[in-house]
Structure 1
Amino acid sequence: MSSSSLLPLSADQIARLEQLVSELAPSQVAWLGGYLTGIGAGGAVGSAQQAAIAPAVAVPSVTILYMTQTGNAEGVANDLAAALKAHSIPVVLSDVAEFSAKKLKSVGYLALIASTYGEGEPPDTGEDFYNAVMGDRAAKMADAKFAVFGLGDSTYEFFCKLGADFDSRFEALGGTRLLDRVDCDVDYDDQAAEWVTTLSEKIAAEVAAAAPAPVSALSAIPASTQYDKKNPFPAELSERILLNGRGSHKEVYHIELSLEDSGLSHTPGDSIGVVSQNSNVVVEALQGAMGWSGTEDADGSPVSDALKLTYDITSLSPQVLEKYNAFAQSDTLTDLLQAEKRSELMDYIYGREVIDIVTEFPVSGLAPADLVGCLRKLAPRLFSVASSLKAYEEEVHLTVGAVRYCSHSRERLGVCSTFLADRVDIGDRLPTYVHANKNFRLPADPSAKMIMVGPGTGIAPFRAFLQDREADGAAGDNWLFFGDQHATTDFLYQLEWQRFLKSGLLSQMDVAFSRDQDHKIYVQHRMQEHAAQLYAWLQEGAYFYVCGDEGNMAHDVHNTLVDIVAKHGGMAVDAAEEHVKNLQRDKRYQRDVY
């Protein structure tokens, strides 16, 4: 028997009810719930106008703010909004970039989901809000009840710094903490779900105690199947092509996945999440170092399965070392874990994996369940969408650089990149989902100019951008900067760029192949060579995009952009920095960096 057959409504009635509810504001849904409850309790079926005469109880709203670079914080914010709406509590949901910090003085309930980016920095769109809240003229929050959820990556030194900053600052401004702050690593889904449930139920209980109101029963209507991070779609690997020529030191693949019958839709600028597995080679090496056969129990499954499918065994974090040292009791680790040794600890972690610590600091007889209890969950990996649905229906293309290197006398393998390169065959199905990124989007105006900087695999989203513009017949000029090591072996998608140049879709392309001459040349050098033209494009309203390595390239490109604006705009460096920030605020300077 289907779940829908258990409902006392026909399919047509459910469809009409869903249509009505979709058009209502939260307060209207709450009123409708009360109206129907009154009828169900035996009241007369009067007109809606008569029912509306009864005074409505004001339900306080919850302000949900998120600051995000890749969309994770926004996803948690959306989940919280849905949970609160299920309790008939209205919400104000906003990116901090679109919310004035001055409004915090009038907020009742506040939930902030904050991603810490890079080395303790706010996301590009969150810098102004962060500075306003931390500044001397920040609004007082005496009437606010707040909760903060922090997202970060514990392999970085300033893990979840922004969440901690906001949490302490809100309290200092007079706010009352609803829940203790939660700091989450890359495997945040379970903690996020628990936090959403706990916070929404706590707020609902407070609201009900102050003014009891009926709860809508509309959540009983079954939703159609949707594929997302919690329920990924099994996409078929339909193509894999090595893009580099013979003799290259790089290994970059063009990957095609079929989305047929998934209902999934992606937009240029989005990413695709791929749920991967650890390499058998890495798993077996770790099992061998521990003296396990692989059949031992670990968290309810054989340890070989747990290490391959569930846990991150190729990266370390201070939290992992701290948990492991509870068993190892190593003086060396204890010293490294001291707060004043943070920099040395991060240097130690860099380039090491779980097998390194269990061999360097062995624990005799350590149970598999105890070891996996120290580890982070294996998180999906995100890859920029490299195709437009307008050019390739029901499929998505990715540009994946296989990561292989040697450190501390061991060969290392990128988990998902080598999974896609080596360990899946054409026709195999991979759990995937669309990860929306509203902070990296094509200009709404098809006549607007675009400047795109994408060295290496950072070229991926711009392939999608140009395919989309070609399909739409967009009139805007497009300028692409690309860089890699050698022109003869590493000119990714060369024939496609040549076709776009010939058709006029691509107005200009400047390339930087760093190893083709005695001195290294990078994309920022090409920008400087065309500085006057680049500045002129910006003055004409061009959008500026950067995708690729955050560690060096993105910083160098940013500094070069500021330098160009200063020199050709006749500005001091501080004024040029502010000009570039204004481009970011206006979403004319967007970055997708990792």
Structure 2
Amino acid sequence: MRTNNRWTVSRDTLFLGTLGMGLIAWLVRRQLSGKKGDSHLERKTHSSSANPSEHGHLTQPAKRERNFVKVMQEKGRRVIFFYGSQTGTAEDYAARLAKECTKRYGVSAMTADIELYDLSYLDTVPEDCLVFFVMATYGEGEPTDNAVDFWDLIMEEAVEFSTGKEEAPLKNLHYLVFGLGNKTYEHYNSVSRTVDRRLTELGATRISERGEGDDDGSLEDDFLAWQEKMWPAFCDALGVEEGETSMGPRQLVYAVEELTSYDMDLVYLGEISEQLQNGAKLIYDAKRPYLAPISTYELFQQTNDRHCLHVNIDISGTNLSYQTGDHVAIWPTNNDTEVHRLASILGLMDKLDTVVMVKAADSASSKPYPFPVPSTYRAIFRHYLDICACPSRQTLVSLVEFGTDDQCKSFLRKLATDKDEYRKMVGDPVRNLGEVLELVAATADIDRKDRSGFFASIPFDVIVENMSRLQPRYYSISSSSKESPHVISATAVTLEYTPDSTAGRVVYGVNTNYLWRVHCTANGVDDGRVYPVYDLDGPRQTLWDGKVAKLPIHVRRSQFKLPRNPTYPVIMIGPGTGVAPFRGFVRERALQKREGKEVGPTLLFYGCRHSQEDFLYADEWPGLFNTLGENSHLITAFSRDSSEKVYVQHRLQEHGEEVWALLQQNAYIYVCGDAKNMARDVNQTFVHLAQQYGEQMEQQAHEFVKNLRTIGRYQEDVWS
């Protein structure tokens, strides 16, 4: 940017420059309108490749058609279900809706990953077709990673669709929306609400009310309740009736074939990413995680059953980078105890190493393969399916027909249709599919030793169809990118609990206990306890060579960022592992201070149970805050060190006058940790401070805090 400089340009030069810039803009615009999304597709090919064919040979990927309307017409589909999914739940719901659409109403449908198609063709959807949007909200009201392009398109002030029409360009579009969110977050379901609003503003017609699901408690029930009103409107819009489709064989979603001929080098044994095409540039991202060398040390250990690990992840020599406040994704491995449980009752124990090809039965599917294939049953259970999650009621409905007798079918049907029974037997005790099937088998009065193969009648494609894909677990990065650009730090507490009174039954966190076993193996630790068994070597021994442990990781960007101006004060509230990103924040501000920069006051409100047991990074804080100076300090709340429990919100209220003074100096607020209780209580405390020290009425105080969020001075990185 030029400021206070005198410079001149001849008219000819100015004219030619303007003409040249206009020509370039026209060419770019023409290319984008003619091949919209090609640059995005090219970027994706760096991290994805063709799947091996049925015989294990790599095939050259055909260029994907980006015009979804053209695909629908070629495949004879009247309905398309787009999904914006971060963890796979929205994708699962879209698949379930598409299946019901065809099975119950005889209407041909397809599911579509929203990032794989050009949504500027929405204005060409025929009036007799329907478009569904199943959209999850991520973070602070943000779209999921795969929905960013669509979000950017519809949020443009003057949206340009394929036909170039400006007034009510979507007047022929009929659509439906179901959103997935969490009520503990400030921006509950804001993505689905915004998508709905923008589509309506652009002239589209929603044919039934928008659905909203709450992941904090009633997502499945919300989804089913929405369908009760949605399907009748669906029938009216398309002129169909339930039961129009003829009753025939079960409709396949996936075709499964056990292979007898294959190249073992091309069989996936748990690799997350597909094989790289010859000549393709290696780029690590969510589609191609990096197998990063790690080192770990234990921050605390409580009564031998709760451990906290500090994990250092080396990303040097890669294209990966991060910014302070980002998240690191770690891809877990299911434990073999649960792998064997599920394989046994499905009658697959003797076939775990059999090579299988799994592919979508629908040729129009935007994802022809559910995971890298060909693979083995063992690898699929270990690395690709979320076998430790509770099965949904819809999943149990699909299994009823495979019950071995009327008693088993009746029990499964009750679990699937009676939400109280489901909550008591599946939800509250957190039983996974293998455990539920064992529970059902027990109703047949069969000894445990005879339960192997009890549900061998369930086709494997049904299992693949009804189980979510194993997803990475995200951790707030606890290091500073300015101080440590090539090493990412994460902080993780092992999770295990006994949700019911069943003797000896423990539920283990999928990733945290995997990390703990990695730590124990790499550091020769033996705490004397019995844990589930994990395959720590990884696919083809790529995760452990006897000396260095590795983890598949990628980085996810976050909006949880320090102010650009370091002189602004910051107020951080983070109990437990919620302090993780604030370690990075404080270290970064201390580094800036050492570099001679002016750094504003830095307050950290930290809480844990005991000052001598679970005080995270206790040895680091004194030196860091000494560097930051007397205007910065750590304020602690140890809830179990006294008879009266004290939490961070109490300390925040005690220091209210100081906090309020900093807010008048443009201070930024950061909250990290539990969304359901802590984050709400902290929010309410700031409302009280506005009333007490700002002399505001209650409604004014709420508006004051809300405005801080709107302008980015109140940020949260919370979970439920």
TM norm structure 1? 0.69
Residue 430 of structure 1 aligns with an amino acid whose one-letter code is L
Given the alignment of the two structures, is residue 354 of structure 1 paired with residue 433 of structure 2, yes or no?
A: yes
Aligned equivalents of 1:151 and 1:274: distance in 2? 29
Return the offset for 1:118: 1.9
Cα distance, 1:474–1:457 mapped onto 2, change above 3 Å = farther
Consecutive unaligned residues of structure 2, counting only runs of 5 or more, are 1-19, 36-118, 124-132, 158-165, 239-252, 254-278, 359-373, 442-453, 523-546
Give how far 1:492 is off.
0.4
Give 1:423's aligned residue: 518
Partner-residue secondary structure (3-state), 1:489 = coil
Matches within 5 A, 1:321-340: 321-328=396-403, 330-338=409-417
Structure 1, unmatched stretches of 5+, are: 1-19, 37-58, 82-89, 96-103, 178-190, 192-221
Name the SS of the counterpart of 1:388 in structure 2. Answer: coil
Paired residue for 1:314?
388
- Which residue in the other structure is 1:188 paired with? none
CA distance 1:146–1:485, change in 2 (3 Å): same
1:143 aligns with 2:218: no
1:446 aligned onto 2:566: yes
Partners of 1:383 and 1:540 in 2: CA distance:
31
Name the stretch that deviates more: 365-374 or 107-116: 107-116
Matches for 1:110-509 after TM superposition, within 5 Å: 116-119=180-183, 124=187, 130=193, 141=201, 143-144=203-204, 156-158=217-219, 224-237=281-294, 239-245=295-301, 247=303, 250-290=306-346, 292-296=348-352, 299=358, 301-316=375-390, 317-328=392-403, 330-338=409-417, 342=419, 345-346=422-423, 348-350=426-428, 351-362=430-441, 364-367=455-458, 369=460, 370-408=462-500, 409=502, 410-423=505-518, 425=522, 427-438=548-559, 440-472=560-592, 473-504=597-628, 507-509=632-634
Partner letter of residue 283 of structure 1? V
CA shift digits 1:50-75 (9 cap, x unpaired): xxxxxxxxx97989999531687241
Letter of the aligned partner of 1:357 in structure 2? V
Q: Is 2:136–2:181's contact at 8 Å kept on the other side of the alignment?
A: no
Q: 5 Å matches for 1:491-530?
A: 491-504=615-628, 507-530=632-655
Q: 1:489 to 1:234 in 2, by over 3 A?
A: same
Q: C-alpha separation between the residues in 1 aligned to 2:179 and 2:136?
A: 8
Query: Could you tell which deviates more after superposition, 474-483 or 367-376?
Result: 367-376
Amino acid at match of 2:435: D
SS in 2 for 1:494: coil
Among 48, 51, 69, the alignment partner of 2:139 is 69
SS in 2 for 1:313: coil
Q: Is the 8 A contact 1:150 1:160 kept in 2?
A: no
Contact 2:179–2:192, Cα closer than 8 Å, also in 1 = no
Query: Following TM superposition, by how much is the alpha carbon of 1:321 offset from its aligned partner in structure 2, in angstroms?
Result: 3.1
Q: Deviation digits for residues 80-134 of structure 1, max 9, x if unmatched?
A: 58xxxxxxxx945579xxxxxxxx9966599999863324x77538759949978
| Structure 2 counterparts to residues 33-48 of structure 1, below 5 A | none
Task: Note the C-alpha offset of 1:162.
Answer: 10
Distance 2:189 2:214 in 1: 18
The separation in 1 between residues aligned to 2:192 and 2:210, in whole angstroms, is 16
**Distance (Å, rounded) in 1 between the aligned partners of 2:494 and 2:389:** 17
Per the alignment, do residues 358 and 516 of structure 1 end up closer, same or farther by CA in structure 2, a change over 3 Å counting?
Answer: same
Q: Please say if residues 554 and 593 of structure 1, whose CA atoms lie closer than 8 Å, have aligned partners that are also in contact.
A: yes
Three-state SS of the structure 2 residue aligned to 1:533 is helix
Q: Which one-letter code corresponds to 1:454 in the other structure?
A: G
**What is the TM-score of this pair, normalised by structure 2?**
0.58
> Post-superposition shift, 1:364?
3.6
**CA shift at 1:474, angstroms?**
5.0
Partner residue of 1:589?
714
Cα deviation, residue 33, structure 1:
8.2
Deviation, structure 1 residue 532? 2.4
SS in 2 for 1:569: coil
SS class of match (1:253): strand
CA distance in 2, matches of 1:457, 1:557: 16
Structure 1 or 2: larger helix share? 1
Paired amino acid for 1:31: R
Shift, 1:323, TM fit? 3.2
| 2: CA distance, partners of 1:129 / 1:374 | 24
> Any residues of structure 2 matched to 1:561-580 within 5 Å, and which?
561-580=686-705
Q: Does the CA contact (< 8 Å) of 2:394 and 2:416 recur in 1?
A: no
Which residue type is aligned with residue 382 of structure 2?
Answer: K
The two structures, once aligned, show a CA RMSD in angstroms of 4.4
Residue type at the aligned position of 2:427: I
Deviations 1:454-507 (A, max 9, x none): 111111111111222233345121100111111101110112111112112570
CA deviations 1:224-272 (Å, max 9, x no partner) are: 43211111111111x2111015647631100001001111111122101
Structure 1 position 520, deviation (Å): 1.8
